[in-house]
A and B are shown apart, each in its own frame.
Chain A
Amino acid sequence: MTGLYSKHLENRKKAVFRNILLTFVLIFLALVTLFPIFYMIMSSFGPAVATSGDTRSIFPKRWTLDSYRAFFNFSPHSLRWIGNSFIVSICTVLGNVVFASMAGYAFAKINFKGSKWLFGLMLVAMMIPYQVTQVPLYILISNKLKMTNTYAAMILPGIVTSYNIFLSKQFFQSIPTPLLESAKLDGCTQMGIFTRIVLPLSKTVLAVMAINTFMSTWNTFFWPFLVTSRDSMFTIQVGLKTFKFANETLFAPMMAGATLSALPMFILFFALQKYFLEGVTVGAVKG
């Protein structure tokens, strides 16, 4: 372990005491950060009636699934919203894994004309805030390509991102070039090298890329909100926003909707925790 704390290592009692103290502080802080999610899940099991909220409690007085039923009854498309989110997220993930890794490989290991400045261009583009492109992109999709209310409109603009190309290029660079050169001498084409040698070596980085992309696509609200107007094409995030009422407040059903929208991410997180946590450090510089 790290030498930062080494002072107490010879004194076991002190070390144990220190760790218990730290655990308490850490758990307290964790409870504070987790509270909104906890509150959301608990409240979603309350009854589906309007409330002024003045008798609010953390746990519902009566436990019921009514609010989930209310959410699904709210729109004939509630279930479809979740399906739409899956379609959009999965397609975006596939596109990124295939196209970004291909481009990343080309930039890292294929010596072709224009590769340097093209890669530089993509790097520069990564720094442009999305506010610059949002208006023209919206006009392009809705007016020029007539793609509003289609899956294509939600998928295509993000189907391969500069960030993912950058990420995979960084990784592929670490693969030793002689390995690839010898395959080339054996008569392998670049496609062969890529699919038979490079990809099998890159499972982790591809998984990280897939998960990060899935998470950001699943949670994205703004773009699908802009390009969909028909409720059958909403993603769950957009649907959740419409789940508000002008003259009354149905708190528990709203929380049920919020819980449902977050549920797939929670499941994925607990199943693939390792990749989630690893993914954070992949993009960051090494300390």
Chain B
Amino acid sequence: MSKNKVTGSFRRRFKITSDDRWGWLFIAAALLVFIIFTLYPVFSAVRTSFLKYKPFGSQFIGWKNYTDTFKNALFFKAVKNTLVYTVVVVPLSLLISFSIAIMILPFKKGTQSVFKAIYYLPGIASGVALSVVWLWIYDSSPSGLFNQVLAFFHIPPQNWLSSSKTSMLSLMLMALLSGQGGNIIIYIAAMMGIDNSLFEAAELDGAGFFKKIYYVVFPLCKPTTLFLLVTGVIGSFQVFQNAFMMTGGGPDNSTTMIGLLIYKNAFEYSKFGLACAQAILLAIVISAISLLQFKLMGVDVEY
């Protein structure tokens, strides 16, 4: 009898049901695309990272691409640049979008939508188009637009993208001034979800506007903030296009970030192996951050 039971469950486990067939049919296309265009490239990247890649006859060189990476001063400079960019841009952009969301909040739904749309608009234009415009805004001659604004305040013209003192600042400013729309909308959604009774309770305790923000809005938006923080950090680790289009990483490599360095190694210097090794290192860092995210989120849910 017990033997029967075992074979029964065995059969059940390996019997192909109609749901199995339908399930596999439904995911067939997605799975195929996933295997060819994601899974295979990932394995191939790992393999390539151990090669001195040549189109006709690559050589296996073991960990050399990795050790070379750790010996390369430019790699560490790129890491540093990426960190600086991330540490400045991500929190500031959260602060800005949080403040704007707070300001949009008291308006009626229709007005809210208008503001949401206005702030979202710069985000839908392509990075290429915007970088072409920003290149002109940052023109370092005295007639450049930003320099004209500075002249209005009697500040001498700056060398913006051509000076390693201001080039990174310029890219950060550009990131902060375009594309806060998404964050603002997400924050508004989170804030609209806060129960009014909480504010009333806070008011009974004598809390003013800023105290309410600090004691009610802030903690209740924490999961949203964490989400935006983590996606922001991950995104900023991969930032590449603005530096690629506007400075090419210069001057003096002051805007060479890790994404751009990998791109250059791959597609300018044809060092596919080195680029793959560095990309894998980047992936490891990013997954560490993602794990941290789950940890933080998990803690928060319990709380």
Residues of A at the B interface (CB closer than 8 Å) are 1-7, 15, 18-19, 22, 25-26, 29-30, 32-34, 36-37, 39-40, 43, 53-56, 98-100, 102-103, 105-107, 110-113, 115, 118, 121-122, 125, 127-137, 139-140, 143, 156-157, 159-160, 162, 165, 189-191, 194, 215, 218-219, 221-222, 226, 237, 240-241, 251, 254-255, 257-259, 261-262, 265-266, 269, 273, 276-277, 280-281, 284-287
Contacts and interface: CB of A to CB of B under 8 A. Distances in A.
A54 to B, nearest CB: 5
A7 B254 CA distance: 49
Contacts of B44: 136, 139-140
B79 interface: no
A261 to B, nearest CB: 5
A129 B279 contact: yes
A107 B22 contact: no
Interface of B: 16-24, 26-27, 29-31, 33-34, 36-42, 44-45, 48, 55, 100, 102-108, 113, 115-122, 124-130, 132-134, 136-137, 139, 141, 143-145, 148, 177-178, 180-182, 185-187, 189-194, 196-200, 203, 208-209, 212-213, 216-217, 220-221, 223-224, 227-228, 234, 237-238, 240-241, 245, 259, 262-263, 266-267, 272, 275-276, 278-280, 282-283, 286-287, 290, 297
A157 B186 CA distance: 29
B71 to A, nearest CB: 20
A122 to B, nearest CB: 6
B41 A140 contact: yes
A136 to B, nearest CB: 4
Contacts of A18: 106
B29 to A, nearest CB: 4
Given A251-B136, A261-B126, A118 B27 contact: yes
B203 A7 contact: yes
B55 to A, nearest CB: 7
B40 A53 contact: no
Contact of B119 (A33, A254, A266, A281): A33
Contact of B262 (A43, A131, A257): A131
A3 to B, nearest CB: 3
Contacts of A40: 129-130, 132-133
A122 B279 CA distance: 19
Give the dominant DSSP class at B's interface: helix
B106 A132 contact: no
Contact of A269 (B27, B121, B127, B189): B121
Contacts of B21: 112
Contacts of B262: 131
A284 B144 CA distance: 39
Contact of B238 (A43, A102, A131, A240): A131
